[in-house]
């Protein structure tokens, strides 16, 4: 961590010292939040440290779902921008990108194949179709299960089996369906990007109040993505700044002194340990949340966490639930942990549930989130029962605020929505 008077050890620490210099010259009558707003408004996002080359990944619109899943998984990404391969070479950046495709969106789109329709287990129907060597049979099954009538029907308890996903991931349907083929669905995010001259304040507000998961920064000259700012990168920046004077007025305070957690236990969307894990993923997608706590049946005691990131294991490791017809949330957590240990793979899933207490300081929480590379932390009491939830959005909301009329017509010019989109 950077210390006052020492040479900064990282690009993030250098940024922190720049904020420190700006902080010292702010008008004394301003509140701490107003001072920090002014500081962050003075720093362009071009100064934010560049993400590694593995994070600035683009997916071609003609890539198959299988290729997209593999690319996201290999680079430990939850989403990536999609490049329109049919766009002319001199296309503007607005025309060059179709949108952002998310890991969760791909899987939930596929999981429509495993829902029930009118008492028939679609997973069994689809599995039989996959075993048929004729392409039309697969296409017919897939078309029927993704029809508007089917999507509007009320699904029963979601079920799946290892055999289903093994058949699916080896099928022509999975290999040949293109990323562009699922654009225009409600799982497809429009492309929103910043320009290098936009400010840190704009970036922080988009990540917090406007609920962006990551933000591309586009070089107007090259008409390509120059950087991608993620929630994890912002957490790391705050961790590197935790000992600087401008941050201490917040960082040294206990959570309850800052009014955190904003989300109390009765508002947390959760899942009981005996419920099907597919219900957890479906709920995350429907509610637009990045993770769910798993609680003991009939109670509020936290026993684990399932993140949207974990949805990848449905496709890259179907063998983890070979022994189950319908895997529960509790069994899924155990199976994923065993899979990671056996394959010597590192993942936030290995860390289990990240928790804190109301008497912990904001600095304590930021350091824990940064070290674990996760975006949410659960507040629990001495008995382990849920008391609340804290995310990066909540933390940012305690540091800065959106001035009246700040964005103006910003979204009109920066949020082109593809013609096929229904977002």
330-359 mean pLDDT: 83
At 303 the three-state DSSP class reads strand
Mean pLDDT in residue range 224-230: 90
What are the residue boundaries of the structural domains of the chain, listed by start? 44-240, 252-399
Can the peptide bond before residue 261 be classed as cis, meaning omega within 30 degrees of 0? Answer: yes
Query: What is the maximum alpha-carbon separation in the chain?
Result: 75
| CA–CA dist 225, 346 (Å, integer) | 28
Tell me the helices (H) and strands (E) count for the chain, helix number first: 19, 14
pTM beyond 0.75: yes
Distance of alpha carbon 423 from alpha carbon 179, whole angstroms: 17
- Fold of the CATH domain 44-240: CBS-domain (3.10.580)
Q: Which residue bears the tokens 């022509």?
A: 172
User: Are both 44-240 and 252-399 of the same fold?
Assistant: yes
Q: Buried b / exposed e across 292-320, counting CB within 10 Å, b at 16+?
A: bbbbbeeebbbbbbbbbbbbbbbbbbbeb
Taking the C-alpha atoms of residue 382 and residue 355, their distance in angstroms, rounded to an integer, is 11
Domain spanning 252-399: CATH 1.10.3470.10: no
Average pLDDT rounded to a whole number, residues 266-275: 93
The conformational region for residue 27 under phi > 0 = left, psi -120 to 50 = alpha, else beta, is: beta
Q: In this structure, are residues 179 and 64 in contact, taking their beta carbons and an 8 Å threshold?
A: yes
- Contact criterion met (CB below 8 Å) for 103 and 111: no
Mean pLDDT of the region 86-100: 87
Most confident residue range from 60-74, 168-182, 184-198: 60-74
Which pLDDT value is given to residue 148? 35
Sign of the torsion formed by the C-alpha atoms of 335, 308, 327 and 188: negative
| Residue 120 clears pLDDT 60, i.e. is over it | no
User: Which range has the worst mean pLDDT, 189-198, 219-228, 329-338, 341-350?
Assistant: 341-350
The answer on pLDDT for 296 being more than 80 is yes
Please name which of 86, 108, 82, 107 lies closest in space to residue 189, comparing C-alpha atoms. Answer: 82
Lowest mean pLDDT among 316-330, 358-372, 386-400: 316-330
| Per-residue model confidence as pLDDT tens digits over 44-81 | 999 999 988 777 889 999 999 889 988 888 888 878 89
pLDDT, averaged across the chain: 78
CA distances, 80 to each of 161, 189, 214, 242 (Å): 28, 10, 9, 30
Taking the C-alpha atoms of residue 90 and residue 87, their distance in angstroms, rounded to an integer, is 8
Please tell me which residue, 170 or 210, carries the higher pLDDT value.
210
> What is the structure's pLDDT at 124?
46
Q: How many CB atoms lie within 10 A of CB 225?
A: 22
What pLDDT does residue 261 have? 95
pLDDT of residue 322: 56
């Amino acid at each position: 961590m950077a210390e006052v008077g020492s040479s900064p050890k990282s690009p993030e620490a250098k940024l922190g010292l720049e904020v420190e210099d700006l902080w010292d010259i702010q008008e004394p009558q301003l509140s701490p939040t107003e001072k920090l707003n002014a500081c962050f408004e003075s720093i362009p996002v071009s100064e934010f440290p560049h993400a590694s080359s593995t994070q600035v990944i683009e997916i071609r619109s003609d890539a198959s779902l299988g290729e997209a899943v593999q690319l996201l998984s290999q680079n430990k990404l939850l989403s990536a921008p999609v490049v329109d391969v049919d766009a002319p070479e001199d296309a503007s950046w607005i025309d060059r990108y179709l949108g952002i495709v998310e890991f969760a969106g791909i899987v939930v789109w596929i999981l429509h194949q495993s829902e029930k329709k009118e008492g028939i287990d679609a997973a069994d129907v689809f599995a039989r179709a996959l075993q048929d060597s004729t392409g039309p049979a697969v296409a017919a099954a897939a078309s029927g299960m993704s029809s508007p009538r089917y999507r509007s029907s009320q699904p029963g308890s979601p079920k799946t089996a290892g055999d289903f996903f093994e058949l699916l991931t080896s099928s022509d349907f999975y290999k040949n369906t293109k990323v562009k083929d699922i654009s225009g669905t409600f799982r497809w995010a429009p492309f929103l990007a910043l320009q290098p001259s936009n400010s840190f304040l704009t970036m922080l507000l988009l990540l917090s109040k406007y609920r962006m998961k990551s933000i591309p920064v586009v070089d107007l000259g090259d008409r390509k993505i120059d950087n991608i700012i993620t929630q994890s990168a912002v957490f790391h920046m705050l961790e590197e700044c935790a000992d600087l004077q401008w941050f201490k007025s917040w960082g040294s305070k206990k959570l309850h002194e800052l009014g955190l957690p904003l989300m109390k236990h009765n508002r947390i969307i959760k899942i009981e340990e005996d419920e099907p894990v597919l219900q957890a993923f479906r709920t995350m997608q429907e509610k637009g949340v990045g993770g769910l706590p798993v609680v003991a049946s009939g109670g509020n005691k936290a026993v684990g966490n399932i993140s949207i990131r974990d949805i990848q294991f449905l496709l890259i490791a179907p063998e983890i639930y070979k022994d189950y017809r319908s895997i529960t949330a509790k069994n899924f957590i155990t199976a994923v942990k065993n899979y990671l240990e056996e394959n010597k793979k590192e993942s936030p899933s290995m860390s289990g549930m990240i928790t804190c207490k109301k008497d912990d300081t904001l600095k304590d929480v930021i350091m824990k989130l940064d070290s674990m590379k996760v975006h949410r932390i659960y507040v629990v009491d001495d008995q382990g029962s849920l008391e609340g939830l804290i995310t990066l959005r909540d933390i940012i909301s305690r540091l800065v605020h959106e001035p009246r009329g700040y964005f103006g017509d910003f979204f009109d010019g920066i949020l082109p929505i593809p013609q096929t989109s229904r977002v």
